[in-house]
Amino acid sequence: MDIWNELTDSFNREMAIDEMKKKYENTHLVLIKPDGSEILVTYKGFADGLHYFKDELGIDIKVRHETDYRIVCIFPERRLFNTDKMALEFIRLPNRQYRRGICKDNVRIYSPIRALWSSESSAWNLNTLRDALYPKYPSCAEEAIQQLETKQVISVALNDKFMISLSFTTKKDHFYLWYCNKCIGYFHKDMFKIEHKLFTQEVLDNATLFKPYRIEF
């Protein structure tokens, strides 16, 4: 089975081309070259015997229907991830969708701290999606605290579930600890104080994240 039939559950070339348009046009996929390198792309359609994609820089990529390239549709689990300015959360929406690739109809990417004031999703593009698909996290909480102290970021994800943010209360000398989109405690004077006991086990299971600081329940 060729890659197009596999992506669309089709049985022939004509059906696969038609289904690619229906299920993947303007959605985001990973294009894997024969040498194994990966490119995050947006599928734009089929014309003149070629499948058209755009990469993160907006450059056109043309792929013949008969090709050695592989194409993968990746949907990560719900996760926090870091961008240049803040931590965001990636959530796959439960709505039934005919479109199979990642798009704004089936994914929500938003800032948990900004969600305190607005229900709107954050604007995102392929660069944001790359951060979500290939997340990078600080080596420890101390590194995250140092980043926050510079005021160049408003939040930092420690891993896919925990995040520390600048203060959003009158206690400006506090940083706040989040589990996914829930604020569960704060950081002050070299100590994490967990205020929501419901998340005690999750914190204990990830205790190494918070070194070298103390944790109080």
Query: Per the confidence metrics, is the pTM higher than 0.85?
Result: yes
**pLDDT confidence of residue 63:** 96
Q: List, edge to edge, every strand of the sheet that includes 38-47.
A: 60-64, 50-54, 38-47, 28-32, 70-72
Low-confidence ranges of the chain (pLDDT < 70): 1, 119
Cβ atoms of 81 and 160 within 8 Å: the answer is yes
Residue 144: closest CA among 161, 132, 156: 156
Residue 144: closest CA among 169, 163, 167, 130: 163
Residues 162 and 209 in one domain: yes
User: Which of 72, 88, 103 is the C-terminal boundary of a domain?
Assistant: 72
Residues 54 and 96 in one domain: no
User: Which of 109, 133, 157 is the C-terminal boundary of a domain?
Assistant: 133
> Mind listing the pLDDT tens digit for each residue in 167-187?
999 999 999 999 999 999 999
> Mind listing the pLDDT tens digit for each residue in 84-105?
999 999 999 987 778 899 999 9
> What CATH number should be reported for the domain holding residue 36?
2.30.30
Number of domain units in the chain = 3
User: Which of 72, 89, 111 is the C-terminal boundary of a domain?
Assistant: 72
Range(s) of the domain holding residue 8: 3-72
Residues 10 and 66 in one domain: yes
Residues 151 and 201 in one domain: yes
Residues 34 and 90 in one domain: no
Q: 174-199 b/e with 16+ CB inside 10 Å = b?
A: bbbbbbbbebbbbbeeeebbbeeeeb
Residues 149 and 212 in one domain: yes
Residues 151 and 129 in one domain: no
